[in-house]
Structure 1
Amino acid sequence: MAARFALVMLATMAMVYAAQAGDPELTTDFFVPMGTNKADLNGDYFTSMVFRGEPAVPEGAKIGVKRITSDSFPVLTGLGVSSAQIKYLPGGINPPHTHPRGTELLIVQKGILTVGLVDTTNKFYTKELQAGDVFVFPRGLVHYQINLSHKPVIAYVGFSSSNPGTVSLPATLFGSGIPDNVHMAAFRVNQHVVDKLQAPFKM
């Protein structure tokens, strides 16, 4: 009985640890890609020049993003950090989304940016940020940013994961193939409304 209790406790502790864990722990100073000789590495391996200049905003869009994650900058693998630089034109929005693997720290470099956050009790938090202000979006919580001003905004973002992931609510809900009858039941709307919500994601 004692052995069984100990096994259950061990399994419970493992699940709690797994739920709280972020990136896998490194057992070396830093990640070295397979097939790479560590002795051949130099300062270039630890350097990214992605943030030189402002992000380009694609034609027809109002937001541009430059990202540095472990996918594009391998040295970040296992270090629990990544970053992004975002440019918001007037009216530009980073729509409601979550980051399942990382907390986000946003710093406004230029302009005025309005942000919003919803916690697990459905409480809404919002703030108008100015240059130099910092806002935290805890891991997994729904949040957004929007430029309600008449001038461009530049912000830098840091994440507590080398690859935090992004789940965009509009695209996930209405562009992933969830059946229409599920949407109609969940949102208590008719087929016409569902079709209208799905339309931007069928292009």
Structure 2
Amino acid sequence: MISPIIFIFSLLLSSCHAAVQDFCVADFTAPESPAGSACKKAATVTADDFVFSGLGIAGNTSNLIKAAVTSAFAAQFPALNGLGISLARLDLALDGVVPFHTHPGGSEILIVEKGTICAGFVSSANTVYFEQLVKGDIMVFPQGLLHFQVNSGRIPAVAYASFSSASPGLQITDYVLFANDLPTELVAATTFLDITQIKKLKGVLGGTG
């Protein structure tokens, strides 16, 4: 005869197994809820949903910052939805830079594939941590902290980043300040920058006000 304890334990195990959901490939055609994106019906999911080929292609660095970030977040790779992971490719031309930015939703690990990259972050105590990274080096950037990457070598650089979120988010400080309609007077009051310089930067980055 099966003891009551073993019977209850077996019921709990079967219930837990039944509640497991292996994946939730995002269905962006359905309304998004506070809990996140809806899942595609399992019958419509194929192997192609779990493959993303975009990181094998170099990004276009013909721009102001001479850099390109190719994201494999849930928005580009719906199979990541709900898994708490994502990736990105970073291409830096000579003198390329990813300005101070933050990922509000996740921590980042960067691994250098080619070239030399000066990378660093600033802690909430305003302590600065930065290093020269070469091929094979890895650096971590804690969630929410301002960080940057600069090509400090003599050849184009390539790196890959992994994140602890399927949607880590991105805010680039320069664009937050100078690429919107925040009034120049408010930018000056909150940054102590000269109004002439602020207007110049807004002209470069497309801001108004």
CA RMSD of aligned residues (A): 2.1
**Aligned residue runs from structure 1 range 45-194, under 5 A:** 45-58=49-62, 62-194=66-198
Alpha-carbon offset, residue 27 of structure 1: 6.0
The equivalent of 2:24 in structure 1 is 31
For 1:59 and 1:169, the matched residues in 2 are separated by: 17
For 2:156 and 2:49, the matched residues in 1 are separated by: 33
SS at match of 1:181: helix
For 1:35 and 1:119, the matched residues in 2 are separated by: 37
Which structure has the greater CA radius of gyration?
2
| Consecutive aligned runs of 4 or more in structure 1 exceeding 6 Å deviation | none
SS at match of 1:102: coil
The residue type paired with residue 53 of structure 1 is I
Counting aligned pairs with the same residue, the percent is 33
For 2:169 and 2:55, the matched residues in 1 are separated by: 20
Cα deviation 1:40-80 (Å, max 9, x = unaligned) = 43322211111223333346651122211111111111101
The residue type paired with residue 30 of structure 1 is F
SS at match of 2:158: strand
Q: Tell me how many residue pairs correspond in the alignment.
A: 178
SS at match of 2:61: coil
When residues 103 and 202 of structure 1 are mapped into structure 2, their CA distance, relative to the original with a 3 A threshold, is same
TM-score (normalizing by structure 2)? 0.78
Unaligned runs of 5+ residues in structure 1 are 1-25
Unaligned runs of 5+ residues in structure 2 are 1-18, 28-37
